[in-house]
Amino acid sequence: MKNLKIIPTQLTVITFMLIYLNSCNGQIQNRNSTNEEGKTYLTHQPNNFNAISNRLDKNIRSIFHDRNGNYWFGTNGAGVYRYDKKTLTQFTVKDGLSDNQVINIQEDNLGNIWFGTGIFGISKFDGIKFTTHTNNVKITYGTEKDWKSTNNDLWFYAGGGVLRYSNSSLTYLPFDQSSSNTQSSAPFSLSRYGVYCILKDTKGNVWFGTQAEGVCRFDGKTLTWFKEKGLAGPAVLGLFEDSKGNLWFGNNGAGLFLFDGKTLTNFTEEKGLNNADFKASGKPGLGTLARVYSINEDNNGNIWVGTVDAGVWKFDGKNLTNYTTKNGLTSNAVNTIYKDKNGELWFGTDGNGICKFNGTAFTEFIIK
C-alpha cells in the first residue's frame, strides 16, 4: 500500500468518485444513441439553464484551448467550465459528464472535445450533447497484435494500462498480460500499471506515465520501459517534449527526469533539489523539486515545472529559478501548466484558481 499513499488527493478522489457515480447513475437522465457500428452509448443534452456561472472553481486540474478559441477548465470536483471570453458555462454530471473530476481535455480532428475524468471515465462533447464512451469497452490481453497507433487516435488513462479510441471503438490495452484483464472492471481498477499521463511526441511515439512502473514508450511496434534512477516507484504525473526533442518526466517523489533520446538523467538529483523527508515520511518541502505534477515550455525555450508543494521552477538551460506565493504565485500547489494557442502560459492550482505569468510577474486570472 506504500505506493497508494504517494498521491493521496488524487487516489482519494478517484476512490470517492467510484462510490459516488455508482450511487448517482440512476439520477442522471441519460438517453441512448446508437452509432454506425450498432454500439449503444449514453448521451445527454446539457441543462443550459443551470450551466451559466459567474465564478470559476478554485481547484483546477486541466486547461485546454480549442480550435474555436474557447477555453476549457477542468476541476477536481466541480466538472468543467467553458469560457468563450464572454460567458462562463459550467458542465457537470447533471449535464452528462461522466464524472465531476476532469483530469485531461483534448480535441479530435472533427472538433469534438473529449474529457478524461475521475474513475477513468471518458466523455465527448460535440457542441450539443455529451456522450459517455466508457460503457462499451473492448477488453484485450494487451498482446503485440492488440497495440496499434494512428495519427488521429485518442488515448486515455486506465487503471492497469490505457484506453485507445479509434474508428468509433474504445479498446483497453493492459500492460500486464497476466492480470485479469478479461474482466470488464479491469480498466477501472487501479494497479501499479495505472496510467496518469500520456504524450504523443513529434516522432509518433506514445508515452505513458504510470502509478508505480515508471514510463512506457510505444513506438508503434514495441513497448519500452524506463524505470531506472528512481523513476519507478512514485507515480509519474507529467510528460513533456520540448522544442529540442528532449523528453521530460515528472515524478511525484523522485522529481524531474530528462531523456535526450539516449540517456535518462534524474535532473532533480543532479541539481541537489530532492526531498528525502518526503520519501521517508511524506513531508512536503519548499525549495525542492521532488513532487512534479506538470511540465511545459514558453516561447523563449524556458522549461517550466509545476510542483504540488514548492511552487513553479523555470529552467533557462543553465539556471533554475523558483517562484512561490512570495513571488505572486497564487498557490504553491500547481496541478497543471498549459500553453495556449497564443503562446501564453496558464498555471492551474490546487485551491487557488488560475494565474498567468507576463514575463515579470504572476497575475490571478479572474473572470468578471
**Residue labelled with grid coordinates 523528453:** 247
Q: Residue 8: which domain range?
A: 1-47+66-135
| Residue 78 grid cell | 466541480
The mean pLDDT of the chain is 86
Cα separation, 1 vs 203, in Å, equals 37
DSSP calls for 33-97: EE-TTS-EEEEE---HHHHEESS--SBEEEEEE-TTS-EEEEESSS-EEEE-SS-EEEE-GGGT-
Cα separation, 92 vs 146, in Å, equals 34
pLDDT in tens, 199-218: 999 999 999 999 999 999 99
Evaluate whether 340 touches 65 at the Cβ level (below 8 Å): yes
Cα separation, 368 vs 100, in Å, equals 24
Q: What is the bridge-based pairing of β-strands 138-139 and 169-174? A: parallel
Cα separation, 27 vs 94, in Å, equals 9
Q: Is the pLDDT of residue 180 over 80?
A: no
Q: Is the pLDDT of residue 66 over 80?
A: yes
In a domain, 8, yes or no: yes
In a domain, 107, yes or no: yes
Q: In DSSP terms, which residues pair with 248 in a beta bridge?
A: 240, 258
CA 294 to chain centre: 9
Q: Is the pLDDT of residue 177 over 90?
A: no
Q: Is the pLDDT of residue 20 over 50?
A: no
Please, which pLDDT band fits residue 13 given cuts at 50, 70 and 90? very low
Cα separation, 165 vs 90, in Å, equals 26
Please, which pLDDT band fits residue 1 given cuts at 50, 70 and 90? very low
CB burial string 260-277: b at 16+ within 10 A, e below? eeeebebbbbeeebbbee
In a domain, 314, yes or no: no
Exposed, middle or buried by CB within 10 Å (0-12, 13-18, 19+), for 285?
middle
Tell me the pTM: 0.86
| Residue 354 grid cell | 488560475
In a domain, 101, yes or no: yes
In a domain, 362, yes or no: no
| Residue 216 grid cell | 512506457
Measured in degrees and rounded to the nearest 5, phi and psi for residue 22 equal -60, -35
Evaluate whether 187 touches 160 at the Cβ level (below 8 Å): yes
pLDDT in tens, 112-152: 999 999 999 999 999 999 999 887 889 998 888 999 998 89
Give which of 244, 236, 365, 231 is closest to 302, Cα–Cα.
Answer: 244
In a domain, 106, yes or no: yes
Q: In DSSP terms, which residues pair with 74 in a beta bridge?
A: 62, 80
Exposed, middle or buried by CB within 10 Å (0-12, 13-18, 19+), for 228?
exposed
In a domain, 259, yes or no: no
Mean predicted confidence (pLDDT) in 316-341: 96
Give which of 304, 359, 301 is closest to 334, Cα–Cα.
Answer: 304
Give whole-number Cα distances, 41 to 110, 219, 276, in Å.
Answer: 19, 31, 47
Number of domains in the chain: 1
